[in-house]
Structures are given as C-alpha cells and as structure tokens.
Amino acid sequence: MQKTIAGVVTKYVYDGWNVVRERDSKNKVTANMLAGPGLDQWLSRIPVTGSASYYLSDAIGSTVGLADPTGSVATSYTYEPFGKTTVAGTSNTNPFRFTGREEDSTGALSLYHYRARYYSPSLQRFLTEDPIGFAGGDANLYGYAGNSPMMWRDARGTCSRSNALSIAFGLMSGSAATAEGQELVGHGLSNLPPGAGRLSTLTFHRPAFPPRPAAWWVMTSLRGSPVSR
C-alpha cells in the first residue's frame, strides 16, 4: 500500500494490520515503526535520518505527544471530539494521530485513513458508506463510532462499536454483559489482530475493587487463554 501527497510517495510495509516500515518511491527505507499487541497501538517511530519519536497516547489511542530520546515532549496534539487535529511544537512527519490512524491530508481538507474508507473530522463522518452495510451496527452508513467518538473508535472503518479500551487495556465498556463471568461473543472485537476473528469468545468480570462504572468489565480470557490482569 502507498500514498502520494504533494508528489511525495510513501509506501507502507505491514505486519498484519499494523505498519512496521515506511519506504520512499525508490523503495528505500525511511522509517521503522514499533507497535504494541493492539491494533494501532504505536510505541515508537524511528526515521532512518533523524531522532526516534516515542508515542504518548490517550484512552482511545490518539497520539497526544511525541517524546524524544531524552523524554522531552517535542510535539503535542490536541483534538476536537470528532478528531479535528491541532499540532504544536516541533514539526515532524508522523502521520499517526487521531485514534492512532493516518492523517493523509491536513487543514480544512483533513482526511484520516481508516483502512476500509476515509473519514473527515470536519464533516464528522466517513466519505463513503460502510462496506459491510448495516452489519456494522449503525443505521447511518456514513456515521463514525455511533456518534460517540470519545468512547468508541472504528479502526477498520467497518464497525462503529469497536472500543479501543477493550484491546489496549483489557477493558470493555458496553451493556451486552450483565453478570460476572459472562462470555461475550463477537462484541467489539474489530480491534483484535488478524487471526482472533470477530467470533472469538472473551470472558469478562467486573472487579469488586477498585470501584468501576457498572458497564466496565475486565477481560480475563480470550479463546481460553489467560490474560494478565
């Protein structure tokens, strides 16, 4: 996969769903990416020329800062609820911003690439219909994250109810579970890496301490494999 902006070609090398390397038009490596186990869970970006950047992210995976090797925050990002982005500090070529996705153009024409389709933070909607139709869980086929962008994200552009917390922190917010230890099947799983599948079985429980909101659950197993908690 590649993109061309203002005549500059950037080619991406993937490991599953996550980018691990960037190349130029001549296939020369320009940067290497390090990601965590979650989808779009960025840890660092190391350009071939220049200093490494280390990602500071919020609860929905948005990059809020880039730290240099000394730990100083060189670049910071702020967002409106639907992702309109403001950058401050040292300029850089980092494209991974709102919810960890790639901002392919900036300013009034800002567009984010959510894999299956493009999203406009200015319009607060996708530019095309959900390719899986109503199976995405939203009657509005152009809608983003069920109009709840501060709680949900849509990392692949095909499911409005995928919660970043369920993957990055082992938490799920939702009303599908009603009792401790109940198993959830295919609920909010679009952020899982390839191979996990939308029909994987997860077991959640709500811990007694510390107190949590009634709809928050801690993931204790995935396909029967223990998850540290």
Residue 194 lies in a domain: yes
Same domain, 12 and 87: yes
Query: pTM of this prediction?
Result: 0.70
Domain tally, the chain = 2
Radius of gyration of the chain (CA): 18
Please tell me the predicted confidence (pLDDT) of residue 136.
82
Q: What is the mean pLDDT of the chain?
A: 75
Among 74, 96, 118, identify where a domain stops. 96
Among 96, 125, 152, identify where a domain stops. 96
Same domain, 7 and 92: yes
Residue 129 lies in a domain: no
Residue 143 lies in a domain: no
pLDDT in tens, 34-73: 999 889 999 999 999 888 999 999 989 999 999 999 999 9
Among 45, 77, 96, identify where a domain stops. 96
Residue 127 lies in a domain: no
Rounded to an integer, the average pLDDT of 155-166 is 62
Confidence band of 137 (pLDDT split at 50, 70, 90): confident
Question: Which amino acid, one-letter code, is at 97?
Answer: R
Residue 139 lies in a domain: no
Residue 11 lies in a domain: yes
Please tell me the predicted confidence (pLDDT) of residue 28.
95
Range of the domain at 33: 2-96
pLDDT in tens, 85-114: 999 999 888 999 999 999 987 666 889 999
Residue 120 lies in a domain: no
Q: Nearest Cα to 227, choosing from 152, 183, 170?
A: 170
Share of the chain above pLDDT 90, in %: 48
Contacts of 109-113 with CB under 8 Å at 24 or more apart are 110/84, 110/85, 112/83, 113/3
